[in-house]
Chain A
Amino acid sequence: MNLAGVAPIAVLAMLLASGCSSGSPPPALTITAASYPPLGGLASSTASVPVGIALELLATPTGFGSTEAIALRVDDPTRASISQMATDDQFVLTGLAPGSTTLRGLVNGQEVISLDVEVPTQPAQP
Chain B
Amino acid sequence: MKDQRDGVRRRPVSTRRAVLLLLTFAGCDSALDWEPDFTLSPPSGASCGAGWGGGPSSVSSFQYVCPTPESDAGLPLDASALDYLVPGSDPACALGIYLAVEGIPTVAVGEPFQLEYDEAEWGDAAAPMLPVEPAVATLARSSEAGVALLQPGYLAFFARQGSQVFDVTHVLARAATSLGLLSGLPGGPSLGVLPDAGVITYQATVGSSAQLLAYPQADDGTLLGGAVTCTFASSDPQVLAVQAEGVVAHLAPLAAGEATLTAACGGMQAMAVVSVTGTAANVDAAAADARDDAGTLDDAGTPEDSATDARTDTVEGPDAATLDAEVEQ
User: With A37-B156, A38-B104, A52-B139 in contact, is A92–B170 under 8 Å at CB?
Assistant: no
In the bound complex, do residue B135 and residue A84 qualify as a contact, i.e. CB atoms below 8 Å apart?
Answer: no
Verify if B163 is at the interface (C-beta below 8 Å from A). Answer: yes
A86 touching B161, Cβ below 8 Å: yes
- Report B149-180 CB contacts with A as 1/0, cut-off 8 Å: 00011111010010111101010101100000
Report B46-70 residues with CB < 8 Å from chain A CB: 54, 56
Interface check A4, CB cutoff 8 A: no
B136 touches A96 (CB 8 A): yes
A residues 33-83 in Cβ contact with B at 8 Å:
35, 37-39, 50-54, 56, 83
Could you tell me the distance between the alpha carbons of A37 and B170 in the complex, rounded to whole angstroms? 8
Tell whether, in the assembled complex, residue A38 and residue B164 are in contact, meaning their CB atoms are under 8 Å apart: no
Residue in A39, A94, A122, A125 whose CB lies within 8 Å of B135 = A94
Q: B104's closest neighbor in chain A, by CB?
A: A38
| A78 CB to nearest B CB, Å | 11
A85 touches B165 (CB 8 A): yes
Distance to closest chain B CB from A43 (angstroms): 19
A86 to B160, CA, bound (A): 9
Is the C-beta of A124 less than 8 angstroms from some C-beta in chain B?
Answer: yes
Residues on the A chain within 8 Å of B172, using CB: 38, 125
Chain A, interface SS category: loop
A/B pair count, beta carbons within 8 Å: 63
Asked if A52 and B164 sit within 8 Å, CB to CB, the answer is no
A contact residues around B164 at 8 Å (CB): 83-86
| A52 and B165 contact, CB distance less than 8 A | no
- A124 pairs with B152, CB closer than 8 A: yes
- With A35-B168, A56-B168: A94-B156 Cβ-Cβ less than 8 Å: yes
The yes or no answer to A126 lying at the interface (CB within 8 A) is yes
CA distance A35 to B56 in the complex (A): 12
Residue B220 at the A interface, CB < 8 A?
yes
Assembled-state Cα–Cα distance A95/B170 (Å): 13
Contact A125/B136 with A52-B156, A86-B56, A86-B166 known, Cβ cut-off 8 Å = no
| Cβ contact within 8 Å between A53 and B166 | no
Which residues 162-201 of B sit at the A interface, judged by CB distance below 8 A? 163-166, 168, 170, 172, 174-175
| Residue pair A51, B163 in contact (C-beta under 8 Å) | no
Task: Report whether B220 and A39 are in contact in the complex, using a CB–CB cutoff of 8 Å.
Answer: no
Q: Which residue of B lies closest to A126 (CB)?
A: B220
CA distance A51 to B164 in the complex (A): 21
- 11 A-B residue pairs with Cβ-Cβ distance under 8 Å, sorted by A, are A39-B154, A51-B136, A52-B153, A53-B154, A83-B165, A84-B163, A85-B166, A86-B161, A94-B135, A94-B136, A125-B153
Interface residues of chain B, those whose CB is within 8 Å of chain A, are 54, 56, 104, 135-136, 139, 152-156, 158, 161, 163-166, 168, 170, 172, 174-175, 218-220
What residues of chain A have their CB less than 8 Å away from a CB belonging to chain B?
35, 37-39, 50-54, 56, 83-86, 92, 94-96, 122, 124-126
Could you list 11 further interchain pairs (A-B, Cβ under 8 angstroms) beyond the known A35-B168, A85-B166? A37-B154, A50-B154, A52-B153, A52-B155, A54-B168, A83-B165, A86-B56, A95-B136, A122-B153, A122-B154, A124-B152
